A and B are shown apart, each in its own frame.
Chain A
């Protein structure tokens, strides 16, 4: 017995029946208040558009300097990859790895997994390795910390202002735009929708 209208809250396990009509946009658990789902009619197409935009922004953000500093005619610039290698060369490989992981690898994994899953779903197809890639997406979205990085840049800027002439780079604005794009994805993407789209087609083992 697998009934599509049954919902088990992920946070308190309360079993609930979905309202079939009119379908609510957002449903909260009746007992603990956790979000059961949030649906938008255009959710998946918005998610795919935002994901493509975010991938472009991520490429820009990682190719240009975030901040640059001018001190006695000397100019130095920090890219994100430069920050990782600076920490590495200071004998803090674990901290370097953490920055690499939370600010570069996980955001890339999150967006790549989203694109992998959502774009074929838009064309009515199911991406290969759907389940494993979906689990990668859930893991990556917990550990990707673009918004924290943006705040970190702001704090660094204020601290550096007292030492020298500091300027913001293109990558900072790309990161700000990326942060907004990722927040918009979070507001529009509903995993249940994706699973329903993906399993509507043929080729799924129906229990």
Chain B
């Protein structure tokens, strides 16, 4: 019967990977690299929920407020994230439209739903499909960074166009909300401890 290190009274160092016997509570540091040791990340579920709910709250303004104001001789225009996607689609760059749609709209949504599913299943101490949930966690963690795409696009457009006399691009309030969503969901994914997915299984076998 395979078992987790914690169950056997051992702990793996998250920094240098050394496996050692769990030290007494007042000296929970790795014997080799002196990094703090935790059997499971402290307050993982609570912290993850808090960051996730903050991200959900900001997801709404991020998608409804304008992310960019463009003005030129031909008039002015407010762009939301979605209208930016539609602009790319309409101008024939459908492949880039898909990339931006994926990075700016689908990825944050998938991260929020995925983390919520993981949190609820862990809180219910579910033993349902742990390998798939572990894979979901890895997916959520690895795709998160791609949402920064729109922030970089706005930054570059604002900079290149701002100095010309004929047109101006200004960043809108959604850039702030969207940037916060990216940071909050990434921090939420990092505060989740995937080892919690597996703990109920061992208890069921024990």
Contact = CB atoms under 8 A, between A and B. Distances in A.
B34 interface: yes
A74 B14 contact: no
Contacts of A96: 155
Residue with the highest number of chain B CB atoms closer than 10 Å, among A4, A13, A158: A13
A6 B153 contact: no
Nearest to B144: A142
Contacts of B194: 11-12, 32
A14 B2 contact: yes
Interface stretch (B16-24, B52-60, B120-128): B16-24
A154 interface: yes
Contacts of A12: 4, 130, 134, 194-195, 197-198
B87 A33 contact: no
Given A66-B156, A131-B34, A205-B32, A159 B15 contact: no
A204 B30 CA distance: 12
B47 interface: no
A159 B131 CA distance: 41
A87 B134 contact: no
Nearest to A194: B16
A176 interface: no
Contacts of B148: 98, 102, 145, 148-149, 152
A131 to B, nearest CB: 4
A76 interface: yes
Given A69-B161, A99-B155, A163 B167 contact: yes
Interface string A162-203: 111010000000000000000000000001100100010000
27 contacts: A1-B20, A2-B20, A7-B17, A8-B11, A10-B17, A13-B195, A14-B2, A15-B5, A31-B131, A32-B131, A33-B134, A68-B160, A76-B161, A83-B156, A95-B155, A95-B175, A95-B179, A98-B148, A148-B103, A148-B148, A152-B149, A155-B153, A156-B157, A158-B91, A158-B93, A163-B161, A195-B32
Interface of A: 1-4, 6-16, 30-34, 37, 66-69, 71-72, 74, 76-78, 82-84, 86-87, 90, 92, 94-96, 98-99, 102-103, 130-131, 134-135, 138, 142-143, 145, 148-149, 151-156, 158-160, 162-164, 166, 191-192, 195, 199, 204-205, 207
Given A31-B2, A83-B158, 9 more contacts: A2-B31, A11-B134, A12-B197, A15-B2, A32-B131, A90-B158, A94-B180, A131-B34, A166-B160
Interface of B: 2-6, 8, 10-12, 14-21, 31-35, 72, 84, 87-88, 91, 93, 96, 99-100, 103, 130-131, 134-135, 137-138, 145-146, 148-167, 170-171, 175-176, 179-180, 182-183, 186, 190, 194-195, 197-198
